[in-house]
Homo-oligomer: A and B are copies of this chain.
Amino acid sequence: MGLGELFDEPTDTREELMGATYRALCEHGYAELTIQRISDQFPKSKSLLYHHYDSKDELLLDFLSYLLDHFESTMPRADDEAAVALAALLDHVLPTDPDPERRQFIAAIIELRAQAATDPAYRAHFTRSTAFLHDAFVRIIETGVAEGTFRPVDADRVASLLVATIEGAMVQQVTIDTEMASTRSGELRAELDSYIERQLLTVDGEGE
């Protein structure tokens, strides 16, 4: 999924504004971002932008919320077999070796996430996005257990391990040496696949 493409053909003013925010955030990062720099990327009236948002944080929180809605609507469907759905979701959220645009975007998201350490509005957003991802894994795991393709595991425990791992891997991708991050992320995915095969999957439905 190229997120940039999401904003290539905006169908209304809000999508244009979200696209402008995306481009300005990738280009400048959070610390250097200003409403002015977002409006430089916005083809319509600047006053519209200033009219709707009092601060860059208000706009960024709206942007994060928009992205989460988009993420929810493009999630791999859980009506596949659970093992297939689980692999698809991991592919969706754990991209290895992101391209430069994606890397800049992840870097900006990590900067926004750090704001949550001190800003309750950002914390509320990341609570919601972490809970969303957690619940998506829980649903898939519970489906697998019900199907008999997964062992009768504790779905919350497994989901907590997966989500923490994904969030840690995202942080590593943009905060340590790129080559090392790439090596670690390959090892991590291999180990996650092995964990799923040995801890989660039943062998011919043999159960525990």
Contacts and interface: CB of A to CB of B under 8 A. Distances in A.
Interface stretch (A1-9, A43-51, A110-118): A110-118
A157 interface: yes
B117 A190 contact: no
Contact of A107 (B118, B167, B174): B118
A157 B118 contact: no
Contact of A175 (B116, B159, B192, B194): B116
A195 interface: yes
A68 to B, nearest CB: 14
A139 interface: no
A166 B127 CA distance: 18
Between A117, A124, A130, A166, the greatest number of chain B beta carbons within 10 A of the residue's beta carbon is seen for A117
A164 B168 contact: yes
A20 interface: no
A145 to B, nearest CB: 15
Interface residues of A, number: 51
A206 interface: no
A126 B163 contact: no
Interface string A164-196: 111111011011110010001101101110110
28 contacts: A111-B117, A111-B118, A113-B175, A116-B176, A123-B177, A126-B176, A127-B176, A127-B180, A130-B172, A130-B176, A130-B184, A131-B176, A131-B180, A154-B187, A157-B194, A160-B185, A161-B187, A161-B188, A164-B164, A164-B168, A165-B168, A166-B168, A167-B167, A167-B172, A168-B168, A168-B169, A194-B199, A199-B199
Interface of A: 29, 31, 107-108, 110-111, 113-114, 116-118, 122-124, 126-127, 130-131, 134, 154, 156-161, 163-169, 171-172, 174-177, 180, 184-185, 187-188, 190-192, 194-195, 198-199
